[in-house]
Amino acid sequence: MTTDVTIERVGVVGAGLMGSGIAEVSARAGMDVVVIEANAEAAEAGRARIEKSLARAANANKLGGLTADEILDRLAFGTDVAELADRQLVVEAIIEDETAKTAIFEAIDKIVVSDDAVLASNTSSIPIMKLAMATRRPENVIGIHFFNPVPVLNLVELVTSLHTSTETAQRAEAYAVGQLGKYAITSKDRAGFIVNALLIPYILSAIRMFESGFASKEDIDQGMVTGCAHPMGPLSLADLIGLDTTMAVADSLYDEFREQLYAPPPLLARMVEAGLLGRKTGRGFYDYTS
């Protein structure tokens, strides 16, 4: 595998909040991007999400002299993974579900032609080895974990498994840092990696505090904003992340370590079952419909 080849052709599987953000920043950096979704409606929703984001960036003069249309011309949307055959890098960015992600890696492994192609996951918590072993080339598989909103937050976690080759890690870093201009930190392959292994217990602790009636949600959040200079409180942050994603990461951490601090509180489970997932559904710990 060579390490001096610039990534020019990127594939993104999933056009939700994370996938659309990854596709957008890749296109803004000059890459040709193919975005694959489960159906035409979801693909169109992803395109609309990117158009809205680019419009905001254009209004703030943050497109680096390009127009939104020029960037959109670098993006193609489809529903067939076969369209990823010529990609040099494919980033999986679907729901935080191990079975679903494994199926995607099995599919793209069969489709992507180049032996040098990097197969990456944006998973928040699932060990990369589990995904890598679904392919015939685990040395090409790596975690490239972006943070929401992708066009705004500068951090990327690069997660290497026991099989990830040095060349794959170097190409992933060159893409994230050299081409996208992100700041990369490197994590060993364990559930939650660095950020979520620290962040999720903090959020779960806040949920338990609220659930027990110890303090109001407003006071919990304001305490961390005003007292610790956090940009937002833990319950507001859970709403931003999505309570389903928060629970999925907690489940992954608990499955791996069996430590009580990672166990999802009953209130979180009930809210997910009720479809109260935070900002994306209009209601979580707070109401966003008004």
> Which among 53, 196, 236, 252 is annotated as catalytic?
196
**CA 53 to CA 79: how far, in whole Å?**
22
Closest CA to 245 of 277, 218, 274, 210: 277
What value, to the nearest 5°, has the Cα angle with vertex 217 and ends 147 and 284? Answer: 55
- Stated as kind and residue range, the H or E segment containing 185 is strand 183-188
**CA 216 to CA 57: how far, in whole Å?**
36
Closest CA to 18 of 127, 104, 109, 92: 92
Cite the beta strand spans of 108-175 per DSSP E: 118-121, 141-146, 155-160
> Which among 92, 157, 161, 165 is annotated as catalytic?
157
157 assigned to active site: yes
Within 10 angstroms of residue 275's Cβ, the number of other Cβ atoms is 11
- Yes or no: say if 153 and 147 are a contact pair by the CB < 8 Å rule: yes
Distances (CA, A) of 213 to 26, 206, 247: 45, 11, 21
> Which among 145, 161, 187, 236 is annotated as catalytic?
145
> Which among 20, 26, 53, 124 is annotated as catalytic?
124
Matching residue, tokens 């193609």? 76
Distances (CA, A) of 44 to 14, 51, 76: 12, 10, 11
Tell me which amino acid residue 12 is.
V
196 assigned to active site: yes
Positions marked catalytic: 124, 145, 157, 196
